[in-house]
Amino acid sequence: MSNRLLISNVTIVNDTDLPFKGDVFIANGRIMKVGNELFDQAEQYIDGKGKDWLLFPGYIDMHIHGSAGSDVMDATEQALHQMSRSLVQEGVTGFLATTMTQATDTIEQALKTIAQFENDGDEATLLGVHVEGPYVSPKRAGAQPVDYMILPSIEQFAYWQQLSHNRIKQITVAPELEGGIAFIKALHKQGVIVSIGHSDATFEEVDRAVAVGVRQATHLYNQMRPFHHRNPGVVGGVLLENAVKVEIIADFVHCHPMSIQLAYRLKGAAGIILITDAMRAKGLQYGNYDLGGQTVHVTASGAHLPNGALAGSILTMEQAVKNMKAVTNCSLSELVAMSSANAAQQLQLRSKGRIAAGFDADVILLDQQLNVEKTICRGKVVFEKS
């Protein structure tokens, strides 16, 4: 047997139990044992003695468009490899390649590329597709081009699912659009995560949509009808609905730190999913970049369209986790819930999001400041901080 890795003397953190000091034995991409003083023979050893390292399940980013110069909508295998390779540097071991509102054939080209795509051994795993738009509201467009927004279609989606070889796991939709409720019902039945987003729905419309299957909210606060005390909107709705987990872009650009604190108080860690919504400029220098045919100006204050609208982020999951800790002072276990376990649960991935025997060996070593020291994908060390 080859590819055995023994990690010892690290603090093992899961979402549901107290962190504990221990060892993890990995073979052939799987976690075989978690315990104390394991002495299994391995080809590779990582000893955390004297280093105070934490071991987390690898981060899962359910909403990311691009990084390192590449974008999902480039619709090339090379772009997907580039993204998958770059993401391991920030502790991401799995992600949903996220499409955006574009012409139908452009979306279809991206789906076809993903259908054929297979990751190399040194990459984060492309876990599926998050289709963001085109079934969204022009009233809450943000950086999604209004010209390509259309009404939800169960038939068109079925064709897209087929094109993608059943890799579409999540869709962002505005339920108030004509046909929205029937669409949500059908997709929920198919096991696709239906996420309310880019939506101008009222509280009552949110309530109806959740009753038929909405289970997530796309980038909370951003591009959704805001809270008003006489009209609680999408924000009020998704904060109150227990069945809905909310995505948060914790970069302090897309939400004020205290808005993040508000969500944490209302939803708890079990109701929050940290995402980046990153675009291709992540990891590159400030300057001008393309997002779906629009020029995006990237500076220290974020990624903006010429009209000033936010156009995705350049946030890393590593920074999102640090920011969440800084603003809420939440526990390490709660950080694991928000950065990995909740996403795995939404995606019904029964072998990810947890450090336990039988689970995939997607784990990351962090220092006490939550800097990523090493990333291990499917049992292979794919990133080490220099």
Which residues define the annotated binding site for Zn(2+)? 132, 198, 219
In angstroms, the CA 262 to CA 189 distance is 32
* Nearest distance from C-beta of residue 362 to Zn ion, angstroms: 23
Alpha-helical regions (H) of 148-189: 154-163, 180-189
Of the residues 23, 200, 277, 362, which one makes contact with Zn ion according to CB under 5 A: 277
Binding mask 126-155 for Zn ion (x = CB under 5 A): ------x-----------------------
* Nearest distance from C-beta of residue 122 to Zn ion, angstroms: 26
* Nearest distance from C-beta of residue 223 to Zn ion, angstroms: 9
* Nearest distance from C-beta of residue 20 to Zn ion, angstroms: 37
Q: Are 220 and 235 in contact (CB under 8 A)?
A: yes
Asked if 52 is an active-site residue, the reply is no
Instruction: Return left, alpha or beta for 199; rule: phi > 0 is left, psi -120 to 50 is alpha, else beta.
Output: beta
φ, ψ (nearest 5 deg) of residue 27: -145, 140
Is 247 a binding residue for Zn ion by CB under 5 A? The answer is no
In angstroms, the CA 202 to CA 189 distance is 24
Query: Toward Zn ion, which CB reaches closer, 274 or 376?
Result: 274
The distance from CA 57 to its chain's CA centroid, rounded to whole angstroms, is 14
Query: Toward Zn ion, which CB reaches closer, 64 or 332?
Result: 64
Is 251 a binding residue for Zn ion by CB under 5 A? The answer is no
Candidates 16, 17, 81, 26; CA nearest to 365 is 26
Query: Toward Zn ion, which CB reaches closer, 181 or 281?
Result: 281
Query: Toward Zn ion, which CB reaches closer, 132 or 176?
Result: 132
Question: CB-based burial of residue 122 (10 Å sphere; 0-12 exposed, 13-18 middle, 19+ buried)?
Answer: middle
Catalytic (active-site) positions: 277
Q: Which residues bind Zn ion (CB under 5 A)?
A: 132, 277
